[in-house]
Amino acid sequence: MLTKLKPKSKFSRNVLTLMTGTMIAQALPLAITPILTRLYSPSDFGIFAIFVALTGAFGVVATARYEQAIMLPSSHDEAISLVALSLIMATIFSSILALFIWIFFDFLSSATHIGYWLYGIPFGVLLVSIFNTLIAMNNRLALYRDIAKSTVLKAIVLAVSQIILGFMSVGFGGLIFGFLSSSIVANQKLWHNIRNYKFENISINILKQLAGKYRDFPIFQAPHALLNTLVTYLPVYLFAPFFGMSVVGLYSLSSRAVFMPLSILANSNAKVYNQHITANLNEVPKARYEFTIRLLKKFSSILIIPYVIFVIFAPNIFSFVFGEQWRVAGVYAQILSPWFFLNSIVSIVAYIPSMMNEQKGALKIAIAHAILLTLAISIGIYLGSIEYALMLFTLFQCTVLVYNLFWMLSLIRKAQ
């Protein structure tokens, strides 16, 4: 019976391998969250959210996005040179960031409440950059099983270390240390597969040539990636100085607890959609729009009833699962629920602009998105109400998501 259910094609087996690893890696942190919320305070989670937000924002641009080009060369030698270029760029960027933190340490420490863990940010940026680069190279070598193992291993080390340090009552430092240590272990696993390639044959001239050849990545992709990341963490950046770390922690948990299970479902559908739509790009172009509509309707109909039930009882669910001090996070989840729901739907078809070569249009929408969300949160801050800030944030998010969805569907429809 199990043999019959096993995917027949090599492509499908590879996709299933990556999906399984990703789902486990995402589900494990979510599963241990009820333990962590009883070991760490909302303020601890808030400071950790700031750390992750800063590390994430810098991490996507530290390599100048050269790791995105690793799949393109026909020769492995050029790809390995791109790996070296990416790691060199990340090392330089992280070193400059560390120097900046050292110069402005007093100001940054008081602004972020991170203290000496600030020096963990450039280290974390370097680790994230290495991880992304090694993932790209392992993907090029079709080592999907090792990629899946590394993501699962990363999740396991993160969970174990954060729980152990939580019982030791070390505060937010336990969350940060778990984050850093898990990245180190995952990088070691991924590095094992490429350590025998000849990096010593790489010269400065080769790196200069590749930097020029793939200059579109730092010029165009890096700003877009940075903008998307900043939008993702925008509430964390703006809530911290005006509403405090506890509010940031509550917001972080509300989005994390709801987004993770939704993203697992949405990402699984997105992978299937991307494969189907790409495979049938030239064969049956007329059916792409209908297939997209059917998929979105089916996903929405399956999700809507359990999601509505969850939203109605969110405060009680958060209180029961995570502890009474997290009840307010359930209230935040209720306010943010339309955004959570729409985002999970739109993310399924987010590949359409890339498929239609409409990256420029997507960048324009991303810029408008960032401006509108900043305006929404700023109004809430001016009114001195986190609830108003979340309501306006949700309203503007939904407006942009609906526009983006109809724009992407129009791209599919016009292409028929």
Q: Flag the least confident range among 8-12, 228-232, 234-238, 340-344.
A: 8-12
CA triple 287-289-295, angle to 5 deg: 100
C-beta atoms surrounding 236 within 10 Å:
22
Residue 415 neighbours by CB under 8 Å, 6+ apart: 285, 288, 356
pLDDT in the model for residue 5: 43
Q: Which of 398, 396, 308, 298 is nearest to 406 (CA)?
A: 398
Position 90 scores a pLDDT of: 96
The pLDDT of residue 2 is 41
Whether the pLDDT of residue 96 is over 80: the answer is: yes
Looking at residue 84, its amino acid is A
The predicted model gives 358-369 an average pLDDT of: 83
d(CA 252, CA 329) in angstroms, rounded, equals 8
Residue 235 clears pLDDT 80, i.e. is over it: yes
Q: How far apart are CA 191 and CA 150, in angstroms?
A: 10
Whole-Å CA distances, 247 to 291, 312, 359, 383: 41, 21, 35, 16
Mean pLDDT across 129-157: 87
Residues of 27-57 as b/e, b for ≥16 C-beta within 10 angstroms? Answer: ebbeebbeebbebbebbbbbbbbbbbbbbbb
Binning the chain into helix, strand and coil, the percentages to the nearest 5 are 85, 0, 15
Spatial CA neighbour of 340 closest among 401, 250, 381, 383: 401
Q: Residue 170 class from Cβ within 10 Å (0-12 exposed, 13-18 middle, 19+ buried)? A: middle
pLDDT in tens, 305-343: 888 888 899 999 999 999 999 999 999 999 999 998 998
Distance in angstroms (rounded) separating the CA atoms of residues 148 and 334: 34
Q: Can you tell me the distance from the alpha carbon of 187 to that of 56, in angstroms, rounded to the nearest whole number?
A: 16
Confidence of residue 45 (pLDDT cuts 50, 70, 90): very high
Question: Residue 103 phi/psi, 5° resolution?
Answer: -70, -45
pLDDT value, residue 143: 79
Q: Cα–Cα distance between 265 and 340 in angstroms, integer?
A: 13
Mean pLDDT, rounded, for 92-119: 93
pLDDT at 292 over 90: no
Confidence category of residue 286, pLDDT binned at 50, 70, 90? low
pLDDT at 39 over 90: yes
According to the model, what pLDDT value does residue 72 have?
Answer: 80
Q: Of the spans 71-80, 226-235, 356-365, 387-396, which averages the highest pLDDT?
A: 387-396
pLDDT of 256 higher than 80: yes
Q: What is the pLDDT of residues 48-84, one digit of tens each?
A: 999 999 999 999 999 999 998 888 887 878 888 899 9
Between CA 94 and CA 128 the distance in angstroms is: 11
Most confident option among 12-26, 160-174, 192-206, 281-295: 160-174
Answer whether residue 166 shows pLDDT above 90. Answer: yes
Q: Quick check: 99 pLDDT over 70?
A: yes
Q: Give the C-alpha separation, 39 to 33, whole Å.
A: 10
The CA distance from 77 to 333, in Å, is: 49
Whole-angstrom Cα Rg for the chain: 22
In the predicted structure, residue 4 carries a pLDDT above the cut 50: no
The tally of CA atoms less than 13 A away on the side-chain side of residue 206 is: 14
In this model, does residue 378 exceed pLDDT 90?
A: yes
User: Which alpha helices (DSSP H) does 2-143 contain, by range?
Assistant: 2-5, 10-36, 42-59, 76-103, 105-112, 120-140
pLDDT category of residue 279 using cuts at 50, 70 and 90: low
Largest CA distance in the chain: 63
Residue 242 DSSP class: H
In terms of average pLDDT, the best of 45-59, 207-221, 222-236 is 45-59
